[in-house]
Structures are given as C-alpha cells and as structure tokens.
C-alpha cells in the first residue's frame, strides 16, 4: 500500500505523528507523511523524523523512502514525529504556484508555446521554453495578468482527478484546471509580488526566472 500523503490533505501542516512502516538500513518508510519528496520539478522538504535529520526523501513508485542520518534503532511499528522546515516549504509552495500562474498565462496568451523544463527551489523558480527571440518581450503581458490573479486572491482548489492512480490537479475557477501532484497554496494572494528575469540558455531556448519580491 502506498504511503498516506498527508501533504496533500493539508499542505500547511508542519508536524505529524505517525508510525514507521518499514526499515532497510538507513532508509525508512512511514505509514503517513507530510514530508514531500522531489517531484514534478519541486524540490523535496528538509526536516526530521524522530529527531533524526532526513538526508534524502525520494519517490520509489508511489512510495516515499527517507534516508535518515543514523545511527538509529527505528523499527517497523515505532511511533515517530515528522517535522518539516516550514519557511523552506512555504517558499517552495509560493514559488511553485507563481510558476503555475506564469506558465498558464504563457499558454493562454501565447498559444503554441512549449515548456521544455522547470525547477522549483527555495530561492527561485525557473521555466524553460522553446522560444525564438527574447522572451522578456512577453513580460509586460504576463506581469499584468499575474498581478490581476494575485490581487483577486482567488481560491485554489486541489483534489484528485484519479484517486486510484494518485493523479491530482489544481483549479482556479474561470482561469485554469491543471494536472499536478505538487503542494499548492489555498489562495492566489499568498503568492504576493514576484520579479521575472530572462535568461538566454541556448539557441532557441529561453529561461524565465521567478523570485519572490517579499
Ligand atoms: Zn503544481
């Protein structure tokens, strides 16, 4: 059975009491977790399990495997507390959703545009596009649309489209419905103001870097 991913039910949760499901050397799995593993371009969380720092969180199929700093004597069935670094996670969530909005605006305002890469870190998000010319020429249009969506403070719905296969989406009514398994904010106002920067990364490819202004 796949691990209970409580970061979807409540992405604002920073602490969770759960039980160790399995142990293999320094690797453990949990019955339920709030600790996100690198997925869909969003970096994983940092934090602790039973007080031990987590060195790596990774997905193996639908399972999330945690490598923790040992030595530890944890065994299946042990009650443990999971804690995540919330300032880091919240920056990741804000930048992730900023990237979602920018990407969706690009698709809507520039039909046919193609995304060729994406990455969300604690400091910045980046979106790479196949694009001839200088992509910063789109910024006035994108920035205006972005400000509208953020200042309207729209509700963001996150739910399963296919619970069996753990396929999820986010939706803003009247704007977009997008398939994504990341951790999403509840309202667009939480994103706040952002700065867009252009970076030419090679022939026919343009990068848009997004940072939070505050
Ligand atoms: Zn997403």
For residue 15, give its domain range: 4-84
Quote the pLDDT of residue 70. Answer: 80
- CATH number for the domain that contains residue 53: 2.40.30.130
Query: Which residues share a beta bridge with 23?
Result: 28
How far is Cα 183 from Cα 62, in angstroms, rounded to an integer? 16
Residues 107-143 pLDDT 10s: 999 999 999 999 999 999 999 999 999 999 999 999 9
Same domain as 112, residue 202: yes
Whole-number Å distance, alpha carbon 187 to ligand 1 midpoint, is 13
Asked if pLDDT for residue 2 goes beyond 70, the answer is no
Residue 72 phi, psi dihedral angles, 5° rounding:
-135, 160
Same domain as 202, residue 146: yes
Same domain as 93, residue 180: yes
Whole-number Å distance, alpha carbon 163 to ligand 1 midpoint, is 17
Whole-number Å distance, alpha carbon 121 to ligand 1 midpoint, is 13
Quote the pLDDT of residue 1. Answer: 42
Whole-number Å distance, alpha carbon 36 to ligand 1 midpoint, is 13
What's the mean pLDDT when you consider all of the chain? 95
Quote the pLDDT of residue 95. Answer: 98
Residues 150-189 pLDDT 10s: 999 999 999 999 999 999 999 999 999 999 999 999 999 9
Instruction: Report the alpha-carbon angle 34-117-5, nearest 5.
Output: 15
Whole-number Å distance, alpha carbon 1 to ligand 1 midpoint, is 24
Quote the pLDDT of residue 57. Answer: 96
Last residue of a domain, one of 84, 100, 120: 84
- CATH number for the domain that contains residue 203: 3.30.980.10
Whole-number Å distance, alpha carbon 182 to ligand 1 midpoint, is 5
Mean pLDDT score, 98-103: 98
Same domain as 61, residue 12: yes
Asked if pLDDT for residue 25 goes beyond 90, the answer is no
Whole-number Å distance, alpha carbon 155 to ligand 1 midpoint, is 15
Mean pLDDT score, 76-87: 98
Residues in the chain: 214
Whole-number Å distance, alpha carbon 31 to ligand 1 midpoint, is 24
Asked if pLDDT for residue 214 goes beyond 80, the answer is no
Quote the pLDDT of residue 3. Answer: 60
- Number of compact structural domains in the chain: 2
Tell me the torsion sign for CA atoms 32, 33, 37, 42.
positive
Whole-number Å distance, alpha carbon 181 to ligand 1 midpoint, is 6
Residue 42 has a CB neighbour count (10 Å cut-off) of 24
Whole-number Å distance, alpha carbon 156 to ligand 1 midpoint, is 11
């Amino acid at each position: 059975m796949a691990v209970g991913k409580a970061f979807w039910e409540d992405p604002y949760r920073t602490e969770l009491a759960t039980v160790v499901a399995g142990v293999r050397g320094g690797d453990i799995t949990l019955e339920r977790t709030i600790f996100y593993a690198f997925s869909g371009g969003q970096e994983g969380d940092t934090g602790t399990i039973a007080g031990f720092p987590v060195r790596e969180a990774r997905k193996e199929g639908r399972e999330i495997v945690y490598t923790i700093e040992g030595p530890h004597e944890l065994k299946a069935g042990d009650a443990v507390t999971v804690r995540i670094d919330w300032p880091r996670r919240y920056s990741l969530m804000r930048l992730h959703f900023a990237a979602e909005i920018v990407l969706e605006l690009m698709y809507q305002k520039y039909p046919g545009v193609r995304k060729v890469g994406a990455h969300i870190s604690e400091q910045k998000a980046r979106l790479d596009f196949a694009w001839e010319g200088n992509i910063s020429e789109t910024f006035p249009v994108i920035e205006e649309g972005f400000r509208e969506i953020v200042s309207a403070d729209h509700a963001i719905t996150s739910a399963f489209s296919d619970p069996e296969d753990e396929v999820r989406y986010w939706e803003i009514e009247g704007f977009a419905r997008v398939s994504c398994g990341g951790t999403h904010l509840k309202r667009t106002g939480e994103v706040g103001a952002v700065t867009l920067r252009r970076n030419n990364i090679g022939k026919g490819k343009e990068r848009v870097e997004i940072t939070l202004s505050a």
